Chain A
Amino acid sequence: MSNLKKLFAFGLMFVLMLIISACNGEEAADESDQTKGETEENTAPANGEKVKIEFWHAMSGPNQQAIDDIVADYNASQDKYEVESLFQGSYEESLTKLRSVGGTADAPAIMQVFEVGTKYMIESGYIEPVQTFIDKDGYDISQLEENILNYYSVDDQLYSMPFNSSTPVMLYNKDAFAAAGLDPENPPETFEEVKAAAEKLTNGDMKGFSILLYGWFFEEMLATQGGLYVDADNGRTGEVTEALFNGEEGRRVFEFLKEMNDAGTLGNFGSVWDDIRTAFVSGQVAMYLDSSAGISGVVESAPFEVGAAYIPHSEEADRNGVIIGGASLWMMNGISEEEQAGAWDFMKYLQTAPVQAKWHVTTGYFAINPAAYDEAIVKERWIQYPQFQVTVDQLQDTKPSTATQGALISVFPESREHIVTAIEELYQGGDPQAVLDKAAESTNRAIEIANKTSGN
């Protein structure tokens, strides 16, 4: 009997192992299945002679529609290339997929990667810098927005083509401002002013101010004070060895949040973009930071007048401006030269003023080519949504520096997680310096591992 039991126990152990490994295995299998399915779809000939250009992106919802429209226009505009746009999940998910096919013939020709993946992509060995094509083609990039190029240039080489760029912006409820006796046309600019305004705006269900639990907004409030995220000039001049965001500038941001949290004027709506937007639209928060790409949706759904303002900065530091967020397009190197030529042609098409104008008005992302701002549709749109104008002004007012250029580290996604945890701990009564130090320590460990394992 006891033998039987033992046997049964062993059997169960096997089942257990099976379940555990199946769980791990399934995920990997799912992923490769999906990519396989998609690539098979792509290689299926649709139009005989045209060269297929595969374009992986991470734009969902209305932005996906906008991409598909632009791609359709491009395909109709010439008969040499056929671009195929494929949605591959969020930025993180699509990057994970790329890791499994990068550098092979199965890789897409063009890949959209978020800004913090820049360093990773440069080091990945999967890509051909777009500078190669710019030089070969004699393409004039001076027509493009300097502040955006600034982010994606490393050692004066442009590695990827900027595509969808956004910056943070503070949106506020003008009606609530008027009701609280504040001037709706004169939004607060500094931490102190925001705090004072939040105090007045907090009323019943409505909180004064909020930010999304997302590392990006911390990075921006750090940069606008001229604070660096990591050493080696934000990783622009050498190898990064430690995080600097727990310095004075970072502490000011955390104290700013903590004081409002303690005063009960700060709302917390989590880490999902739609949740904080819903909260704003339904009158649960009067001011919050959003991406410029979110403006049109919010303005359209808000039953009140929405104002847009520059993101706040500390009174102890001058306003330096904002870092570019969003994503850029990368050229892969495992593909044929013909495909690369087509991909380059498509990239150039994307940068033309009419396309950029259309992109800007449908999504709220910046026009990479400032000439687009002179197009009629943009002017019309700006009259309808003056909020867009603010975001463009804020970007063009930005002082170029290593702080506003943004940090270049390969472990950015992980570091952002640590920042979010730190903010959550802060909201639960943590000490600003202590929680920041902890996040910096965790980031340092990630940097250390990355340095240990890179170059191998």
Chain B
Amino acid sequence: MKLWKRSVNVRVGLLYLLPSIILFSMFVFYPMAKTIYLSFFLTNQNGLPVYFNGIENYTYIFSSDEFRNSMKATLLFVIYTVPVSVLIALIMAILANEKLKGIGFYRTIFSSTMGISVAASAVVWLFLFHPSVGAFNNILKAINLPAVQWLLDPEWALLSVSLTTIWMNIGFNFLVILGGLQNIDESLYESATIDGAGYFTKLRRITIPLLSPTLFFIITISLINTFQSFGQIDILTKGGPIQSTNLVVYSIYKEAFVNYQFGTASAQAIVLFAVVLIVTILQFKFGERKVHYQ
């Protein structure tokens, strides 16, 4: 009885949560449970789980060079793309935050990559990277540098794909950071100016601290998105050469929809989920300390 009374808040709360609980169960928990279930099976040519394989799918992927290589490529890819794209977007946003005539034009241009789909931009970059008629190699040729096999050389391919991804991510990052900048109270800058603060002092003491919640948000989202990059890989390299761009999500796709091995694909998906979860928790544990909430 006591418990019934005490839990009234919880019960009311649950009632409010009910719609989302139902939706989450349908579209999140059920697929999640199904993925875990499938990860213990081998599937036949029609994708039905027919052979119980225990934890062998997991032991297989952990012992396979291919998956370890995918993990490594994914981590490198995240390291190459996230910091650079956030930094470039930050610099562009600070520049575009100045109140100048015609700044709206630049804001539109800078955020325009957000409006281009992954597939379309990847195709454009595919032409830029083209080994024989691509723009990049023509430029290198014009200044007498040797041509680079952008997407065919395993040393270069991941960098090339990262370059594309940075370019694609800048638009969204720019827009969010610019939004954050516009939210900073003008009066703070005015007082600082009266106190005699210079441009960079204001940037360091006012802009960055007040922007930190936005930066934290954008870094978290970028990390998660980058871990799940797929479209540009599919179009630019198909995971090659020598698996050097075979990011985990692409590897999952190949395993599931080319090889029709839903079991091992599910096991990889679960591992990816765990990794993203750990990275995000770590980020909250260590990254959020530096965030200044108003």
Residues of A whose CB lies within 8 Å of any CB of B are: 5, 8-9, 12-14, 16-25, 27, 92, 96, 99, 102, 120, 123-124, 213, 268-271, 275, 278-279, 282, 284, 410-411, 413-414, 417, 420-421, 424-425, 428, 446, 449-450, 452-454, 456
In angstroms, Cα B258 to Cα A99, docked, is: 12
Within 8 A of A (CB), among B15-68: 24, 27-28, 31-32, 35, 42-48, 50-51
**Contact between chains at A21 and B27 (CB < 8 Å):** yes
What's the nearest-Cβ distance from chain A to residue B66, in Å?
Answer: 8
Q: Is B112 an interface residue (CB 8 A)?
A: no
What's the nearest-Cβ distance from chain B to residue A119, in Å?
Answer: 9
**Contact between chains at B284 and A9 (CB < 8 Å):** yes
Whose C-beta in chain B lies nearest to the C-beta of A6?
A: B284
Known pairs A24-B31, A269-B132, A453-B45; A17 contacts B273 (CB<8 A)? yes
Between A and B, 16 residue pairs with Cβ closer than 8 Å are A8-B284, A13-B280, A16-B277, A17-B273, A18-B28, A19-B224, A20-B272, A25-B27, A124-B45, A270-B151, A282-B133, A413-B258, A421-B240, A421-B243, A424-B242, A446-B259
Q: Which of B238, B249, B258, B272 contacts A414 (CB 8 A)?
A: B258
**Contact between chains at B261 and A449 (CB < 8 Å):** yes
Q: Is B241 an interface residue (CB 8 A)?
A: yes
Render B273-290 as a binary contact track against A, CB cut-off 8 A, 1 for contact. 100110011001000100
Q: Which of B258, B276, B284, B288 contacts A20 (CB 8 A)?
A: B276
Q: Is B178 an interface residue (CB 8 A)?
A: no
**Contact between chains at B258 and A454 (CB < 8 Å):** no
Known pairs A12-B220, A270-B151, A425-B242; A24 contacts B131 (CB<8 A)? no
In angstroms, Cα B288 to Cα A99, docked, is: 46
**Contact between chains at A21 and B31 (CB < 8 Å):** yes
**Chain B residues within an 8 Å CB radius of A275:** 130-132
**Contact between chains at A269 and B131 (CB < 8 Å):** yes
**Contact between chains at A17 and B28 (CB < 8 Å):** yes
What's the nearest-Cβ distance from chain A to residue B230, in Å?
Answer: 8
Q: Which of B32, B42, B242 contacts A453 (CB 8 A)?
A: B42
What's the nearest-Cβ distance from chain A to residue B131, in Å?
Answer: 6
**Chain A residues within an 8 Å CB radius of B261:** 449
Give how many A-B residue pairs fall within 8 Å (CB-CB).
Answer: 118
**Contact between chains at A456 and B132 (CB < 8 Å):** no
What's the nearest-Cβ distance from chain A to residue B133, in Å?
Answer: 6
Q: Is B149 an interface residue (CB 8 A)?
A: yes
**Chain A residues within an 8 Å CB radius of B241:** 213, 270, 424
Render B146-181 as a binary contact track against A, CB cut-off 8 A, 1 for contact. 000101101000000000000000000000000000
Q: Is B107 an interface residue (CB 8 A)?
A: no
What's the nearest-Cβ distance from chain A to residue B222, in Å?
Answer: 13
In angstroms, Cα B47 to Cα A410, docked, is: 13
Known pairs A12-B220, A16-B276, A424-B240; A453 contacts B258 (CB<8 A)? no
Q: Is B106 an interface residue (CB 8 A)?
A: no
**Contact between chains at B238 and A454 (CB < 8 Å):** no
Q: Which of A278, A424, A446 contacts B154 (CB 8 A)?
A: A424
In angstroms, Cα B261 to Cα A417, docked, is: 14
**Contact between chains at A20 and B238 (CB < 8 Å):** no
What's the nearest-Cβ distance from chain A to residue B150, in Å?
Answer: 10
In angstroms, Cα B273 to Cα A413, docked, is: 27
**Chain B residues within an 8 Å CB radius of A124:** 45-46
In angstroms, Cα B220 to Cα A279, docked, is: 42
Q: Which of A13, A102, A456 contacts B277 (CB 8 A)?
A: A13
In angstroms, Cα B50 to Cα A456, docked, is: 6
**Contact between chains at A20 and B269 (CB < 8 Å):** yes
Known pairs A9-B281, A9-B284, A424-B242; A449 contacts B42 (CB<8 A)? yes
**Contact between chains at A456 and B240 (CB < 8 Å):** no
Q: Is B113 an interface residue (CB 8 A)?
A: no
Q: Which of A12, A19, A270, A417 contacts B131 (CB 8 A)?
A: A270
**Contact between chains at A411 and B50 (CB < 8 Å):** no
**Contact between chains at B44 and A454 (CB < 8 Å):** yes
**Chain A residues within an 8 Å CB radius of B260:** 99
